[in-house]
Amino acid sequence: MNKTVDVLWTGGWDSTFRVIQLLFQGIDVKPHYICDPGRASSPLEISAMNRISDSLKRNPELKGALLPLTIVEFSDFTKYNDIEKAYIDLMREHYIGEQYKWIADYCRHANLESIDISVQNNPFIRRNHSRTDYPFSVIFKGLNFPLINYSKNDMKKWCIDNGFLSIIEESWFCHSPTRSGKPCGVCSPCIVVSEEGMGYRLPTSAIIRYHLRVLPRVKSFLKNYPKFYARLYRLKSK
Ligand SMILES: [Zn+2]
């Protein structure tokens, strides 16, 4: 019987990479998704995970089994006072996102021994996640960071070498999608995608928004050409 690993799957590039990597190693994956109440992108993340799951289940290279996705609403799991207190004490030393507190709550609530969190390129987490002193021990107890020493390029190269690039590119990255469900081009993950040379993953409308944002002078220049500007503007809000 294969070993099973619990993974927090967001539908994004990094956690999708982790899911594929484990399945490739012959490990079964139990994915969990926590709906973030502050984020408009949940339906798009879930549909990306469904599409990716279909592709992964058909892939003969993957020896591990992908178990059904558990979707939990933020309001559905217990928030523990001692975890809240440890989070506040940790915050006195260094800011970390509230999601780490929720994940710690969720782990205890769902009785998970550990869960893989696909954070990369975070020096604070790299230095502190395995500390056993309070408050780190409370927040990071069940949280594994298997990709903490990976770069996006390492992951991309692995995907190209093993034939998974087209699957991982189905992952969702934008935090504030347009009404028609396309990446916005201006939120931080969209900017990261552009800056990492993966701008081809953005639709034209998002690329225009990205350039208008980072080059405000282009915008004032374009205002001298109102018809052209209006055309771009219409494209931008598609
Ligand atoms: Zn975006």
Question: pLDDT-derived band of residue 218, with 50, 70 and 90 as boundaries?
Answer: low
Cα(15) to centroid of ligand 1, in Å? 18
How many angstroms is it from 167 CA to the middle of ligand 1?
20
Q: What's the confidence (pLDDT) of residue 60?
A: 92
CA–centroid distance, residue 103 to ligand 1 (Å): 24
Question: Mean pLDDT throughout 58-83?
Answer: 94
pLDDT at 211 (0 to 100): 76
What average pLDDT does range 90-99 have in this prediction? 88
Domain with CATH 3.40.50 in the chain: 4-144
Centre of ligand 1 to C-alpha 188, Å, is 7
4-144 under CATH 3.40.50, yes or no? yes
Q: How far apart are CA 87 and CA 211, in angstroms?
A: 38
CB contact at 8 A, 11 and 172: yes
The CA 175 to ligand 1 mean position distance, Å, reads 5
Of 18-22, 97-101, 108-112, 158-162, the one with minimum mean pLDDT is 97-101
Q: What is the mean pLDDT of residues 30-41?
A: 87
Which of 16-20, 41-45, 206-210 is the most confident on average? 16-20
Ligand 1 mean position, distance from CA 144 (Å):
27
- pLDDT single digits (tens) 143-192: 999 999 998 889 999 999 999 999 999 999 898 898 888 998 888 888 88
Residue 33 alpha carbon to ligand 1 centre in Å = 20
For ligand 1, the distance from its centroid to the CA atom of residue 48, given in whole angstroms, is 15
Write down the pLDDT at residue 203: 87
Q: What is the mean pLDDT of residues 78-93?
A: 93
pLDDT for the residue 103: 95
Q: How many whole angstroms from 196 Cα to the centroid of ligand 1? A: 14
DSSP string, 149-199: T--HHHHHHHHHHHT-HHHHTTS---SS--TTS---S-SHHHHHHHHTT-G
Q: How confident is the model at residue 222 (pLDDT cuts 50, 70, 90)?
A: low
| Mean of the per-residue pLDDT values of the chain | 89
Find the 3 Cα to ligand 1 centroid distance in Å: 36
Whole-model pTM?
A: 0.85
CA of 104 to the centre of ligand 1 (A): 27
pLDDT band (50, 70, 90) for residue 137: very high
For residues 175 and 188, the answer to whether their CB atoms sit within 8 Å is: yes
Q: How far is the CA of 41 from the centre of ligand 1 (A)?
A: 9
